[in-house]
């Protein structure tokens, strides 16, 4: 199936930012804006620091020097670094607070193909090692630590990681360290990433980790379907995250919500919570929306709607395993359209990949209060593959108003799971056949009910109305 031309309508003009506070469950069609300074009183061009946009000259020092200079304006309203049209080859560079990195139309930041231009940094404490190899890891192309008020945006400029050399090393098992991301921000807040195209990341594309109040809006992310682990957007041990109006086509999950890996994630103990995903379109060899498999710090309060996944392996997925610990709870996904997808819903408790042999096999994850509703699908092979963990059932899995055109003679396969359903075609598996209505409405997570109940209980309104 070709991507419909109408998908271009998905990308909306960036809304003007204001000082409104974050609202986790907004009834509006857009996430509430975060406060960042969208107009900077100081601006310089990367060319003023000797950069050459010929695609050959290495400009790492120019980016570093420009940002070092702009740091003097951090307490004066911040500054903007302008990247004009051209091919700007660079190694890794660090951002600063109160900065706008602006890529003009036809501006391309190119990641260097020299591995030495990507420094080695410590592993994340919630992972205990590099994600792919023990020990340290490569720093991302664009990196920030302990920042606030950061904007990475432009007039649809491009950040291209030139990842094929990294993919080859991964396949050949010749990596010395875990591959780098395109953009990683750590311990940062009030971040906006918008109006850009991300291409060919060596590893994950956009990785906010230990962050708060991050918006990723109106971006295109692309990597070949054969590129390994090129996830689109991975919020990791982060809270108050908004992802909306994005088109993603990669070799792994479009959006994957994470929170640390086994004993390291349990020890670090920072969950991912208050995650909003709206108007996501894309295709992948993995899942459209995924949670895990690294979820040991916990994941909760996830709200996703208006999702279109096509030519993909899985529509909606949760991945976990014995030894993960942590929890995934209070997840609400609605208004999903699937086309040519192998598995519509995949909840997998048997994922088994671990950082080392020191994990505790008795650390069992809690998977509960997962609601998936208003899903339609054409040319779907299997409706659902839902496998909990023996002795650790997935609980309160609620499926409602789901209609799938399925080719498999056995559309559902469920084990070690308890939950409820209504209005499903094809007929759901036995553990989920008990009706949601009227007895189990409150067992099924619905954030709209939570909001409405606080304002309407005195009026005697029924929770049933929200369904």
Is 252 assigned a catalytic role?
yes
Marked catalytic residue, from 252, 253, 311, 396: 252
Report how far apart, in Å, the C-alpha atoms of 287 and of each of 27, 182, 344 are.
26, 20, 9
Q: Please give the Cα distance from 272 to 235 (Å, whole number).
A: 7
Q: Which residues are catalytic?
A: 252
């Amino acid at each position: 199936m070709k991507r419909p031309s109408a998908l271009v309508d998905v990308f909306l003009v960036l809304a003007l930012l204001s000082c409104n506070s974050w609202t986790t469950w907004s009834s509006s069609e857009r996430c509430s804006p975060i406060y960042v300074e969208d107009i900077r009183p100081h601006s310089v061009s990367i060319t003023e620091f000797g950069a050459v946009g010929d695609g050959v000259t290495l400009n790492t020092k120019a980016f570093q020097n420009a940002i070092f200079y702009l740091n003097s304006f951090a307490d004066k309203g911040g500054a903007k670094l302008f990247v004009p049209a051209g091919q700007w080859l660079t190694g890794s560079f660090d951002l600063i607070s109160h900065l706008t990195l602006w890529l003009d139309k036809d501006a391309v930041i190119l990641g260097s193909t020299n591995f030495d231009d990507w420094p080695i940094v410590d592993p994340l404490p919630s992972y205990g090692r590099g994600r792919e190899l023990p020990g340290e890891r490569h720093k991302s192309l664009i990196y920030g630590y302990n920042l606030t008020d950061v904007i990475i945006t432009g007039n649809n400029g491009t950040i291209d990681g030139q990842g094929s050399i990294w993919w080859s090393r991964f396949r050949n098992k010749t990596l010395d360290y875990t591959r780098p991301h395109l953009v990683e921000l750590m311990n940062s807040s009030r971040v906006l990433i918008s109006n850009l195209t991300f291409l060919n990341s060596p590893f994950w594309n956009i990785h906010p980790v230990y962050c708060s109040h991050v918006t990723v809006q109106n971006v295109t992310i692309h990597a070949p379907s054969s590129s390994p682990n090129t996830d689109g957007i991975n919020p990791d041990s982060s809270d108050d995250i908004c992802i909306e109006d994005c088109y993603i086509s990669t070799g792994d999950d479009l959006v994957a919500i994470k929170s640390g890996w086994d004993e390291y994630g349990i020890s670090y103990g920072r969950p991912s919570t208050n995650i909003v995903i709206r108007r996501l379109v894309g295709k992948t060899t993995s899942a459209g929306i995924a949670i895990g498999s690294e979820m040991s710090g916990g994941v909760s309060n996830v709200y996703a709607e208006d999702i279109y996944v096509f030519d993909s392996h899985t529509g909606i997925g949760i991945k976990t395993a014995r030894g993960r610990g942590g929890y995934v709870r209070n997840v609400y996904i609605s208004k999903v359209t699937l086309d040519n997808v192998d598995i519509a819903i995949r909840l997998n408790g048997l994922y088994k990949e671990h950082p080392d042999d020191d994990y505790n096999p008795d650390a069992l994850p809690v998977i509960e209060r997962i609601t998936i509703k208003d899903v339609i699908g054409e040319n779907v092979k299997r409706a659902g593959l839902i496998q909990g963990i023996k002795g650790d059932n997935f609980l309160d899995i609620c499926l409602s108003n789901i209609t799938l055109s399925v080719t498999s003679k056995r559309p559902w396969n469920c084990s070690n799971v308890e939950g409820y359903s209504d209005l499903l075609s094809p007929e759901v598996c036995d553990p989920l056949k008990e009706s949601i209505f009227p007895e189990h409405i409150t067992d099924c997570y619905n954030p709209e009910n939570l909001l409405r109940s606080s304002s309407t209980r005195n009026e005697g309104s029924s929770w049933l109305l929200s369904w």
